[in-house]
Amino acid sequence: MYAKAKAHTNIALVKYWGKKDAELIIPYTDSLSLTLDEFYTTTAVQYDSQLQHDEFVIDGQPVNEKNFIKLTKFMQYIREISGVTAFAKVTSTNHVPISAGLASSASAFAALAAAATKAAGMNLNRTELSRIARRGSGSATRSLFGGLVEWHHGTDDATSFAEPIQERVDFGLEMTAIMLDTNIKKISSRSGMQNVVKTSPYYPAWIDVVQHDMVAMKQAIRAQDVTRIGQIAELNAMRMHALNLAADPSFTYFNADTLRAMALIHDLRNQGINCYYTLDAGPNVKVIYHKNDRPKILKALQIEFREDQLVVAKPGPGIQYLD
């Protein structure tokens, strides 16, 4: 009745931003991401018939009420499909180079899906686990797999799952995260994307954009063309963030430092250094480039940002069981 698993986080190159079915977390569009080696979560699950409710300890702290409700609902689903009736003690640790920041719901729910089902005696493959992780957080669907991963939006629980495109990414694709603000974000992805789907007049155009970008991105991956991957990812991210500006109420995840980082990347490009950026539901910027260009890019970033704000991340692996 015990298992422990480790999952890495992922950063989308073609973003997921909007749910068709909020209960099952079925998105409007496909999405595509890179799993990263530097950021991961380890989670241990122990079912115990003595417990009166689930217990969750994350990074040594009991979770707040909002997270408790989200997590215990997820565990309830695992009990339904496994037939286990006992509550569980869940202990989770986020491994990030600085105290807060990129610890994301993606690695958290991927690790929990794997550990909770294994501890319940289920022996599921990664496709099945990706469907389960999806119910916790959409981006977690992709974190079961390493490298470049596609999430098929599907139309129901059975058809909405992730699939690896290339698990071993060995053509030099790399990302450096610029950690600009590691506080908890004010507008969660969940509420941000919900507002956008309801009120952003450009949402129908976004669905077309993603369809197009998925095809183009997969072509660029097949061609191992890091420049093209960066170009498509950057434009896709900007178009996602444009939806937020056009929502009612309008909002943005950018802060002044975000704009400063983006301007610096543009400057580097003007100097002939190939690098691009992407951003998720927060101000931190992730720079996309070929690893051969890393020294030049880091040198330029180090002038503007502190050493501890810059985290180099390489493609990372899929789910692993520990112990």
Distance of closest approach, residue 286 Cβ to ligand DP6, in angstroms: 11
Q: Residue 246: name the closest of 195, 304, 290, 305 by CA.
A: 195
**Nearest distance in Å: CB 52, ligand DP6:** 28
Q: How far is the CB of 306 from ligand DP6 (least distance, A)?
A: 25
Rounded Cα distance between 312 and 173, Å, is 12
* Residue number with the smallest Cβ distance to ligand DP6: 138
CA distances (Å), 320 to each of 8, 113, 145, 169, 316, in order? Answer: 9, 12, 10, 18, 11
Q: How far apart are CA 273 and CA 297, in angstroms?
A: 8
Work out how close the CB of 10 gets to ligand DP6 at its nearest, in angstroms, rounded to a whole number: 7
CA-based radius of gyration for the chain: 19
Structure tokens at 252: 């943005």
Q: How far is the CB of 51 from ligand DP6 (least distance, A)?
A: 26
Q: Which is nearer to ligand DP6, 127 or 188 (CB)?
A: 188
Instruction: Between 234 and 280, name the residue whose CB sits nearer to ligand DP6.
Output: 280
Closest CB to ligand DP6 among 47 and 146? Answer: 146
Min dist CB 1 to ligand DP6, Å, is 28
* Alpha carbon distance 182, 21 (integer Å): 30
The residue ranges of DSSP E strands in the chain, in sequence order, are 2-14, 19-21, 26-27, 31-48, 55-58, 61-62, 87-95, 148-152, 161-166, 173-178, 276-279, 285-290, 310-313, 320-322
Query: Which residues make Cβ contacts (< 8 Å) with residue 56, sequence separation at least 6?
Result: 62, 63, 67, 68, 71, 72, 90, 92
The residue type found at 253 is Y
Nearer to ligand DP6, 46 or 284 (CB): 284
Instruction: Compute the least distance from the CB of residue 19 to ligand DP6, in Å.
Output: 7
**Helices within 156-200 (DSSP H only):** 189-199
Q: Which is nearer to ligand DP6, 20 or 296 (CB)?
A: 20
As measured in angstroms, the least distance from the Cβ of 27 to ligand DP6 is 8
β-strands 19-21, 26-27: how paired?
A: antiparallel
Of 84 and 103, CB closest to ligand DP6: 103
For the CB of residue 117, give the shortest distance to ligand DP6 in the complex, in Å. 19
How far, in Å, are 115, 137, 183 from residue 297 at the CA level? 38, 33, 26
- The tokens describing 274, both together, are 């190939």
Q: Could you list the residues that contact ligand DP6 (CB under 6 A)?
A: 12, 15-17, 25, 31, 105, 137-139, 189-190, 280-281
Considering the complex, state which of residue 44 and residue 197 has its C-beta at the smaller distance from ligand DP6.
Answer: 197
Estimate the crossing angle of helix 203-222 against helix 226-245, to 10 degrees: 170
Nearer to ligand DP6, 25 or 103 (CB): 25
Q: Which is nearer to ligand DP6, 199 or 274 (CB)?
A: 199
